[in-house]
Amino acid sequence: MPDTGIFLVIQQKNPKGDGMTQTAQMAAFALSGDYERLSAGHVQKLKLHLLDSLASFVWSRHQELPKNVARALAFLNGNGNANATTLPLDHLAQLYTTYIRYPDFMDNFLAKEATCHPSDNIGLLLAASQGRSVSGKQFLMAMAVSYAIQCRLTQQLPVMINGHDHTALLAFSATAGGGRLMGLDEVMLGNALGIAGNNLNPFVTSRASYTTQWKGLASSLVNASCMNILSVALTGITGPDQLFEIPEKGYNAISGLTLDYDWKKEDFSLLDRCILKTYNAEVHTQVTLEIICKLASEHALDPDQVSEIDITIFLTAFHIVGGGEYGDRTAVYSKEQADHSLPYLAAVALLDKEVYPPQLTPDRINSDDVQALLKKVKVHTRFPLHRPTKLAGILDPYTEAYPEWTKCKVEMSLTNGTKLQCEAADFEGFFTRPLSAAAVQGKFEKLNHAYLNKMDIAAIFSMVNNLEDFYVDDLLQVVLRDGK
């Protein structure tokens, strides 16, 4: 029986006996095995993704919107203080998730019909670890569990095709990893997973044009709720144990999808397909931005001499960032719309030769040069048919290749009649060309050299690289330091 220090834990027997529902299987997977179950390669992968997430975490603490979230949580806390040592765990999970998610510079996993950000789990896991003497090994194992569950669900249960946001699946993965850290047993965790799946079903509307600030905050509220649910489940409160299996009123029936996965065979293999970003932009734009920066460098392009930028992309990218189902992406006046607008991103990449937070400020977004250039960008798929989706996926070679590849072709027409062309199928950071440790460290330094001194940055690098030898509190102590 776990020692919560707060809750009277009531042991509940599983009324289904040996019958393993989906939530029961997920709970069993989440709590099975220990750190030694992970391969050395997966451990290094997790550390790299943690460091990448901490780069966003540190940067966000100094930005106005995350500060506003902290102020709101301080108001709810009743004492005007959003200090990490005073917030309740659900608010802490919300704040830490905001820090990681807000810049939209975090990791991704791509499935055929949906995508997700596995690093959305990390904010809750950090909150669950704080003040609890959680070791680095325990944290990495919980992180592996959360990553594996969210990525597998994204493959097996692509809720985005029916209009639900991918953070609906975060409800399961964050609950699973957090439950492992907080000492829930299988029955308790099964209950928590049932409650989370029953109650947390956000819509994909927050990602549609015109995209608002909530796009970068949706996952934080899911994680706050997951932490609340874990606390409730620790008391022995039960949830729908047949969440997916109940006919007519179950998750499968309501969603029109079917989750019937054998979690005993889960092997963490999808961690190998997780992606990191080189550019501070939506994941499906990365290949295009790499091409544009390459053309600009190789040909010393003067943007004033560019008369048209023609981009051929796969269907998922067209829908999300190119003007398809998610709406018009040519009206761009704010960060959240800009980092999900391929026309804007292509224009600013050509002008500035990079896409980092300075390219997403209001002044840069509304500059005359980038606003004029984005109007010269055309985005389309290789094959003009977009529906039915499955048929388009067969007839369009770019779409058919996704998500194994992210094919893109960029053709630039210059005012002197010259035409430049470049095509690519992946990008630096994609699972076929993963970012190196040095590249992730460079990203961290570039984002945070103004906020942390060199000694603290070096300490974070060392702690993450040797996380097995530290407690999570040791790492948080440095990450949460104020100023240089």
pLDDT at 139 over 60: yes
pLDDT band, residue 425 (cuts 50/70/90): very high
What is the tally of helices (H) and strands (E) in the chain? 21, 6
> What is the average pLDDT across 168-181?
98
pLDDT at 471 over 50: yes
pLDDT at 4 over 90: no
Single pTM value for the model: 0.94
Tell me the pLDDT tens digit for each residue of 76-120.
Answer: 988 766 676 689 999 999 999 999 999 999 999 999 999 999 999
Bridge partner list, 420: 412
> What is the average pLDDT across 376-396?
87
3-12, 115-124, 385-394, range with the lowest pLDDT: 3-12
Sole residue written with tokens 């430049």 = 420
**Backbone φ/ψ region at 353: left (φ over 0), alpha (ψ -120 to 50), beta:** left
Query: Who's near 484: CB < 8 A, 6+ residues apart?
Result: 450, 451, 452, 453
pLDDT at 12 over 60: no
> What is the average pLDDT across 300-315?
96
The percent helix, strand, coil of the chain (3-state, each to 5) is 55, 10, 35
Q: What pLDDT does 442 receive?
A: 98
| Gap between the Cα atoms of 344 and 279, Å rounded | 13
pLDDT band, residue 385 (cuts 50/70/90): confident
Q: What pLDDT does 3 receive?
A: 43
What rounded mean pLDDT belongs to the chain?
93
> What is the average pLDDT across 47-51?
98
Tell me the pLDDT tens digit for each residue of 195-238.
Answer: 999 999 999 999 999 999 999 999 999 999 999 999 999 999 99
Tell me yes or no: is domain 22-273 CATH 1.10.630.10: no
Query: Who's near 164: CB < 8 A, 6+ residues apart?
Result: 201, 202, 203, 204, 255
> What is the average pLDDT across 164-192?
97
> What is the average pLDDT across 148-175?
96
pLDDT at 8 over 50: no
Range of 136-145, 156-165, 243-252 with top mean pLDDT:
136-145
> What is the average pLDDT across 37-47?
97
Q: What pLDDT does 11 receive?
A: 37
Domain ranges (residues) in the chain: 22-273, 283-424
CB 105 within 8 A of CB 97: no
> What is the average pLDDT across 176-181?
98
**Of the candidates 174, 183, 178, 171, the residue with the CA atom closest to the CA atom of residue 235:** 183
Q: What pLDDT does 79 receive?
A: 72
User: Residue 99 CB: number of other CB atoms within 10 A?
Assistant: 27
Show the CA angle centred on residue 436, arms to residues 62 and 343, nearest 5°.
Answer: 60
Q: What pLDDT does 16 receive?
A: 41
CA torsion angle 191 121 476 447 (round to 10): -170
Q: What pLDDT does 9 receive?
A: 38
CATH number for the 283-424 domain, one of 3.40.50.970, 3.30.1370.160, 3.40.1130.10, 3.30.1330.120?
3.30.1330.120
pLDDT band, residue 18 (cuts 50/70/90): low
Say what percent of the chain tops pLDDT 70: 95
Tell me the pLDDT tens digit for each residue of 320-374.
Answer: 999 999 999 999 999 999 999 999 999 999 999 999 999 999 999 999 999 999 9
